[in-house]
Structure 1
């Protein structure tokens, strides 16, 4: 169980991404650590053009936190569960379950991800005995807005980038906690409307409204009105359906939109206003909680060519 920093692996694209080797595609491992129940690494990937990859892991949960903005058109499909016409956009934090055949569509470009290959058995021992991968749980795996899981992944990123005394032991503890939190997250995602979740048409309305960039970012009240529910009803039902609160979900979605805008010359105050934050300071605080850095520092790192550090 050793920590390696600033290394590269020519075979990582085949070994870790589960796709056929493609010379035009590149992957560099910037830092990694091998743990008793997980392998964690920072991957710098470059897709020169849009492509589609097949993916499957039988023995691990593949937890991926995109440290740079995930491309807006990146999507995934559970091959054995969804029709060829059905795909779902991926959020910045995803957890692909074991034994699931996936079709991953990349819009191309460069991005950096923190990836944790977490042993399936470490997670599954905490799941209910009657647990099954329902439609809602599969959907929830592709956009995790959890205020318990994201900080664990960000701490992994910090320890890999800045290893110190006890880093190995700390990362071992993080992996164990991550396994429990993932199990809780998926167990909380309900399987049917009768259990208090949102109907599929309401979830589609919410997703479509959030993705409509011609309008200002929606509030919980607006989404509740759209779904013909009270804000309280929406909050309870959304948490049942997606395993996270709707406020956490909206915050993470706004942070991803903010990352994309920070690649432009739009001033930070305007970004804060466009995304519906009450003030620039509240935007900065939310961005720091989600990413571990401020919008200003994130933009400076982008311009220096190192957005993930």
Structure 2
């Protein structure tokens, strides 16, 4: 029997403290959920499954906490990745807005994905993996989790995610830049700026300024960290925001303005280029 999303310990812990926007459970028993929260604290205690998390929006005001202290250098940001092994405990406090993807899986799923019988994901807090983030955004979040015709693509994407999650780069507590990329603090500044300015024109110079770099230095470091150009990344943020607003029932012409497109036609063209379908399919 395929379990429901609230058969997973972490989902049950979140139920009274966050809003479930979307969920599904595959035939093999992997759970997927998109959650949203505006301020709150959550404790995960010794779940009987592993959890993968990708921050989709917000997160700069999320802090890991313990019973005795708050770790001031441990903070999230859009695109941050966390993995929590089964049996581990984790508590976080959120003082702002947060939307995130969760994937719940067990030892048998990880063994199948990795080809090993003794593989357990490491505990990662606010890690960075542009390729894994892209996999989630281009496949997992676009697929219809309830459509049987998409099961094979969904399963393949999930197995790739689990195998890749074994090699996630864990961001250090002082947020050093990985191999010439942006530091964690710079990424948060860039992502927060984009999050609050999508209705406006956003230039490379604007993003470079908040990161404390020249436009040339910034573009190079940004590409190292995100695997794409600042222009393409900002465009992706615009169309993803547009998809969310359309799903919430906003009118297309209003969404185009709110997301910084020059016209509704411009939004439709960019939307189709990224997702492969028009905004009408979201309604």
TM-score, length-scaled by structure 2: 0.63
Q: Does 1:98 align with 2:81?
A: no
Write out aligned runs for 1:1-150 (5 A): 11-12=6-7, 15-17=9-11, 19=13, 22=16, 31-35=24-28, 39-41=30-32, 51-55=40-44, 60-63=50-53, 76-79=62-65, 83=70, 88=75, 91=78, 95-99=81-85, 101-103=90-92, 105=94, 115-117=103-105, 119=109, 138=126, 140=128, 146-150=133-137
Question: Structure 1 residues 254, 34: closer, same or farther in 2, change over 3 A?
Answer: same
Alpha-carbon deviation of 1:239?
A: 3.7
In the alignment, the residues of structure 2 paired with residue 53 and residue 34 of structure 1 have an alpha-carbon distance, to the nearest angstrom, of 28
Distance 1:77 1:212 in 2: 20
Quote how far apart the aligned CAs of 1:270 are: 4.7
Farther off after superposition, 191-200 or 117-126: 117-126
Evaluate the alpha carbon distance shift between residue 33 and residue 281 of structure 1 in structure 2; reply closer, same or farther with a 3 A threshold. Answer: same
Under a length normalisation based on structure 1, what TM-score does the superposition of the two structures give? 0.59
CA distance in 2, matches of 1:21, 1:277: 36
3-state SS of 2:26 partner? strand
Change (3 A) 1:27 1:278: closer
Does the 8 Å CA contact 1:145/1:248 hold for their aligned counterparts?
no
Which residue does 2:196 correspond to in 1?
212
2:139 corresponds to which residue? 152
Give the equivalent residue in structure 2 for 1:161. Answer: 146
Deviation at 1:29, TM superposition (A): 8.4
Q: SS state of the match for residue 150, structure 1?
A: helix
User: In structure 2, how many angstroms separate the alpha carbons of the residues matched to 1:208 and 1:28?
Assistant: 22
Q: Name the structure 2 match of 1:304.
A: none
Counterparts of 1:277-288 in structure 2, within 5 Å, are 277-288=261-272
Tell whether the 8 Å contact from 2:245 to 2:255 is kept in structure 1 after alignment: yes
**Residues 292, 55 of structure 1: alpha-carbon distance in 2 compared, 3 angstrom cutoff:** farther
Aligned residues: 268
CA contact (8 A) 2:65 2:92 kept: yes
| Equivalence for 1:306 | none
Matched, 1:178 2:168: no
Report the alpha carbon displacement of residue 172 of structure 1 after superposing the two structures with TM. Answer: 3.6
Unaligned runs of 5+ in 1: 127-131, 302-309
Measure the CA separation in 2 of the matches of 1:221 and 1:296: 34
The structural deviation recorded for 1:163 is 0.6
Q: Which residue of 2 aligns with 1:233?
A: 217
- Counterpart-to-counterpart distance in 2, 1:216 and 1:247: 14
Q: 1:269 to 1:214 in 2, by over 3 A?
A: closer
> For 2:260, what is the secondary structure of its paired residue?
coil
Distance of aligned partners of 1:65 and 1:224 in 2 relative to their CA distance in 1, 3 Å threshold: closer
Q: Distance in 1 between matches of 2:256 and 2:241?
A: 11
In structure 1, the residue matched to 2:119 is none
Relative contact order higher in (CA < 8 Å, ≥ 6 apart): 1
